[in-house]
Structure 1
Amino acid sequence: MEVPVRGVGDVADYIDSRPGIRGRAGIIWWLLLGGLFLEALANSAMSAGLNPMTEDLSLSAGEVALLTSLSSWVALFFNPIGGAIADRIGRVPPLIAAKVLAVLGAVLACTATGVIQVAFGRAFVGMAYGIDFAIAMAMLAEFTPKRYAARLNTWQGIWYTAVSLNLVLAIIFYQLGTGDSIWRYLLGACGVVALVLLILQSRYLVESPTWQARKGRLVGAAKSMSRIYSEKFVAEETPTDEAQGPATANKGVKNLGLIFRGTYLPRTILASTVQLVQSIQYFGVGWYLPIIAVALFGTDFVFNTVGSLVFNVFGIIGGFASAWLSTKIGQRIASKWGFLIVFVVLVVFGLAYDKLPLWLGFLLPSLFILCHSVGPAANGKSLSSLSFRSELRATANGFIGAIGAFGAALGLLIFPLLQDAVGLGPTFLIVAIFPFAAFIVCTVIKWEPTRAEVNVDEETDAPQFASPPQQAPLH
């Protein structure tokens, strides 16, 4: 039996009717999450190997700040670039390009003989990270039935799984006697993962039929649906006055202006705030857990790494639980209370970190990571991906992802500099200001994508400034 594709409504309705994310769609879904796994692995490789790298390359505090934040500064620019490209030409080509960049970055960094070569490697990683995250989250949203929308938060559990794996690798490489060169092995492992993903994504990814349909490319959408769901889909002409959904935004990068208009403006503010602040609090505190562990527990590498691993296990628990929690109470509410608890933890840490008993020294960072991952960390990118129409989704993700990258770069940059200038305790107190401000924003703005009654691709009150799409010719 042939299934007609007359517009994005047919595609969205079919995907929303699916009983789960299975078959080729399931493979695509997990391969997209694999790209996010790679980003986490690449970021945490620098974190776990930072102290040995500092010794190995005799890095100054300024060089440490540069190398740790560089990929985020680069991602800040490549998030919107990747998103705009994906909304214009499609999702798959830039995703594949991102893996090529990740392989190059890993090779450059792990074979570096000095700071400059490491910096170039991290710049390539930042390009890959910026491109991939904006597009992968958008594409995940387009393959996910509406009633399973909260499952987008699974990316956060994947993130902490990658971070934890990286810490396990650090212990293994250390036991093998790599010494201060351990960071090279950690960065090299990222290159291997990037190469495997490059091969698998090139083989199995299929272009998003939701994006194709919103662009009026119905023949392509039908072919993609047929490949993904193993049914026969055919494109059918629809009279212009019966076109499904609002007019398509076909203004390229100018589409960005739509997310600051009408119903989209509060969604943009909410998603941007959650994304910015979760990045600051994670990369200003969570990313530096191996260094914080030194301040709490001493200088034994294996003990500190195991301590950091314990912290991140709570991230795995929170990350995978976030999908369940967001289904129950909504993504905004989960973010709101997560921010408040993180604020309290940072204040306690800031006032008494050097007086804490060992058990509390483990408990507070674990609580920080748990509440961060179950709430705002998972929802920052999911809120963005679920709040905008398909032809705007990657562009919006790119812009909001750039804000997140700015937050990450700011957190990575200010932590070592503030710690050097005012000490660890006052640094925690300064960072605590941000989650409290985000708690207020999440209280004021009420948008909740998991509770929306209409698929965002079919919203008729969404901002628009383009004529209805031209239907693709039938063949």
Structure 2
Amino acid sequence: MPQHLLRGVSDVVSFIDSRSRIGGRAGLIWWLALSGLFLDAFSNSALSAGLGPMTRDMELSATQVAILTSMASWVAIAFNPIGGWLADKWGRIPPLLIAKVLALAGAMLAAFAPSFEMVLAGRFFVGAAYGIDFAIAMALLAEFTPARFKARLNTWQGIWYVAVCSNLVLAIMFYNMNVGDSIWRYSVGTAGLVALVLFVLQAVFMVESPTWLARKEKLTRAAASMTKIYGATFTAAPVEDRIPVTNQATKGFANVALIFRGIYLPRTVLAATVQMAQSIQYFAVGWYLPIISIALFGEDFVVATLGALVFNVFGIVGGFMSPVIGKRFGLRRASAIGFAAVFAMLVVLGFFYESMPLWLAFVVPSLFILFHSGGPGANGKSLSTLSFRSELRAGANGIIGAIGSAGAALGLLVFPLLKEGIGLGPTFLILSIVPLVAFIICSIIKWDPTRTAISPDEELNAPQFKSDAAAQAAAAEASVLAAK
């Protein structure tokens, strides 16, 4: 069995980058992390498919619908950075498992809720799970992905739409079981079952990120993780032979300030813009597609649900194409192109949704989802994940994810209120401002992590602050003294 000596984080990153594929135990971990994102999407969209029946079942007002549908996103605003902080301080795996427990609790509370308030409590736990899980899972994916496959992080977007379509198919199945307006309870309960299965699988097969361990100067544990994951023997170098970790961020929540300074500031602005804009446009339009479908195709539940299913199949296509698109154009340009196309689709819907022929009523929302999922829908998470070094990565994902959750909450809250107040057409036109502004920002900021040869974990010669420079100099001096 080959043996490898680990002197520092650069050895860990170099070995992972040398892999020709994401296979073996690393591949299993990669797909289990993605499965967690499937759960996040499944839990978030569980109410979407049965929103019409739920509104009738619980006799909800437009304000109650807006509060209920946006609840998980409001909660995620707080739990995104909490999850990121936990993952950067204590590791990736424990918070991921906590998120599954929270998702299970939220699903059970909502599924058996006798009142609106109890459903709201269930969505609180779902939001907490979503906030914790997403920031960490994306960081973990990045740390198991060789540099040549960076764009594959966008695969999560395809997984998201698979989850949404699964909910829609289940809704039709439950409808045919003659469960009446309780369809939504079955969808929410199924999300709890998925959470339970994933908890077991992740607890058994997940392994702590060796990149994070190495950045935290836990090289012996990093070597043990590498041995378990890659089937070769890894050992930590003697202390005197180890490469010092420079620019180490060790101040917990204070690390948040680092992503708003120096070389990280434009990266943060870009990732946050893409994240928030895509969240607003998706959760104000894409999430409500079953309701929009009713407005387009009539009140028949099966027909409207099938319409929403067709729209979201385009999301699967765009989502799984997004790694190829991201690799071809770069994440930034792909986002800009996607925002421009989404802007055009919203303008068309705004002016013509009432008068367009049936075939066009299918095509335009489908293209909206296709351009969204193939571009900015995937890229906000990937941009924030790939732009920061390991001990900042989950925390940065948490902060930028909170900004995205704010966009999601805003979209979920605003859409039903605007739709009821001014109608569907003007609502589309108002929302079209969001992708237009995002397109402009994506055109101005030029940073793209898929267009740089240096991993953020290896940006050791580009200190951003005087304190970092001092720490680097001190580490270098200590290394020279140890050599003597």
TM-score range, shorter chain: over 0.9
Matching residue of 2:482: none
Q: CA RMSD in A?
A: 1.4
CA contact (8 A) 2:170 2:187 kept: yes
CA contact (8 A) 2:217 2:245 kept: no
Matching residue of 1:76: 77
Matching residue of 2:377: 377
Matching residue of 1:107: 108
Matching residue of 2:146: 145
Per-residue CA distance 1:298-327 (angstroms, 9 max, x = gap) = 001001111101000100000000001111
TM-superposed deviation, 1:244: 5.2
CA contact (8 A) 1:307 1:362 kept: yes
Matching residue of 1:186: 187
CA contact (8 A) 2:151 2:324 kept: yes
Counterpart AA for 1:230: G
Task: Return the alpha-carbon distance in structure 1 between the equivalents of residues 356 and 213 of structure 2.
Answer: 56
CA contact (8 A) 1:72 1:408 kept: yes
Three-state SS of the structure 1 residue aligned to 2:341 is helix
Matching residue of 2:258: 258
CA contact (8 A) 1:108 1:118 kept: yes
TM-superposed deviation, 1:352: 1.1
TM-superposed deviation, 1:6: 1.1
5+ residue gaps, structure 1, are none
Matching residue of 2:342: 342
Matching residue of 1:312: 312
Aligned residues: 470
Counterpart AA for 2:390: S
TM-superposed deviation, 1:462: 4.3
Counterpart AA for 1:36: L
CA contact (8 A) 2:43 2:126 kept: yes
Matching residue of 2:361: 361
CA contact (8 A) 2:381 2:401 kept: yes
Task: Return the alpha-carbon distance in structure 2 between the equivalents of residues 394 and 28 of structure 1.
Answer: 17
TM-superposed deviation, 1:262: 1.0
Three-state SS of the structure 2 residue aligned to 1:285 is helix
Three-state SS of the structure 2 residue aligned to 1:233 is strand
Matching residue of 1:42: 43
Task: Return the alpha-carbon distance in structure 2 between the equivalents of residues 15 and 441 of structure 1.
Answer: 33
Task: Return the alpha-carbon distance in structure 1 between the equivalents of residues 97 and 239 of structure 2.
Answer: 33
Matching residue of 1:22: 23
Per-residue CA distance 1:94-151 (angstroms, 9 max, x = gap) = 0000000000000000000000110000000000000000000001000000000000
Task: Return the alpha-carbon distance in structure 2 between the equivalents of residues 401 and 109 of structure 1.
Answer: 24
Counterpart AA for 1:83: G
Matched, 1:429 2:429: yes
Three-state SS of the structure 1 residue aligned to 2:367 is helix
Task: Return the alpha-carbon distance in structure 1 between the equivalents of residues 339 and 59 of structure 2.
Answer: 37
Task: Return the alpha-carbon distance in structure 2 between the equivalents of residues 351 and 259 of structure 1.
Answer: 41
Three-state SS of the structure 2 residue aligned to 1:234 is strand
Matching residue of 1:291: 291
Higher mean Cα deviation, 34-43 or 453-462? Answer: 453-462
TM-superposed deviation, 1:245: 5.5
Matching residue of 2:176: 175
TM-superposed deviation, 1:453: 1.2
Task: Return the alpha-carbon distance in structure 1 between the equivalents of residues 171 and 413 of structure 2.
Answer: 24
Matching residue of 2:267: 267
Task: Return the alpha-carbon distance in structure 2 between the equivalents of residues 333 and 378 of structure 1.
Answer: 13
Matching residue of 2:232: 231
Matching residue of 1:66: 67
Three-state SS of the structure 2 residue aligned to 1:112 is coil
Task: Return the alpha-carbon distance in structure 2 between the equivalents of residues 51 and 411 of structure 1.
Answer: 18
Counterpart AA for 1:442: C
Per-residue CA distance 1:325-358 (angstroms, 9 max, x = gap) = 1111101000000000000110111011111100
Matching residue of 1:389: 389
Three-state SS of the structure 2 residue aligned to 1:177 is coil
Matching residue of 2:455: 455
Matching residue of 2:92: 91
CA contact (8 A) 1:106 1:190 kept: yes
TM-superposed deviation, 1:238: 5.1
TM-superposed deviation, 1:246: 3.1
Matched, 1:160 2:157: no
Per-residue CA distance 1:342-391 (angstroms, 9 max, x = gap) = 00110111011111100000000000000000000010100000000000
User: What is the TM-score normalised by the length of structure 1?
Assistant: 0.97
Per-residue CA distance 1:149-195 (angstroms, 9 max, x = gap) = 00000000000001011100001000011110000000000000000
CA contact (8 A) 2:350 2:428 kept: yes
TM-superposed deviation, 1:269: 0.3
Task: Return the alpha-carbon distance in structure 2 between the equivalents of residues 4 and 406 of structure 1.
Answer: 45
Task: Return the alpha-carbon distance in structure 2 between the equivalents of residues 87 and 452 of structure 1.
Answer: 24
5+ residue gaps, structure 2, are 480-484
Task: Return the alpha-carbon distance in structure 2 between the equivalents of residues 253 and 243 of structure 1.
Answer: 26
Task: Return the alpha-carbon distance in structure 1 between the equivalents of residues 247 and 167 of structure 2.
Answer: 46
Aligned-pair identity in percent equals 61
Per-residue CA distance 1:262-281 (angstroms, 9 max, x = gap) = 11000000000000000000
TM-superposed deviation, 1:2: 2.1
Counterpart AA for 1:201: Q
Task: Return the alpha-carbon distance in structure 2 between the equivalents of residues 230 and 221 of structure 1.
Answer: 14
Task: Return the alpha-carbon distance in structure 1 between the equivalents of residues 419 and 463 of structure 2.
Answer: 45
Higher mean Cα deviation, 453-462 or 110-119? Answer: 453-462
Task: Return the alpha-carbon distance in structure 1 between the equivalents of residues 216 and 451 of structure 2.
Answer: 26
Task: Return the alpha-carbon distance in structure 2 between the equivalents of residues 357 and 133 of structure 1.
Answer: 39
Per-residue CA distance 1:418-444 (angstroms, 9 max, x = gap) = 111111011001100000000000000
User: What is the TM-score normalised by the length of structure 2?
Assistant: 0.95
Task: Return the alpha-carbon distance in structure 2 between the equivalents of residues 462 and 387 of structure 1.
Answer: 15
Which residues in structure 2 correspond to 1:393-432 (within 5 Å)? 393-432=393-432
Task: Return the alpha-carbon distance in structure 2 between the equivalents of residues 86 and 346 of structure 1.
Answer: 38
Matching residue of 1:324: 324
CA contact (8 A) 1:264 1:462 kept: no
Per-residue CA distance 1:393-434 (angstroms, 9 max, x = gap) = 000000000000000000000000011111101100110000
TM-superposed deviation, 1:463: 2.8
Task: Return the alpha-carbon distance in structure 2 between the equivalents of residues 111 and 412 of structure 1.
Answer: 23
Counterpart AA for 2:151: A
Task: Return the alpha-carbon distance in structure 1 between the equivalents of residues 299 and 47 of structure 2.
Answer: 18
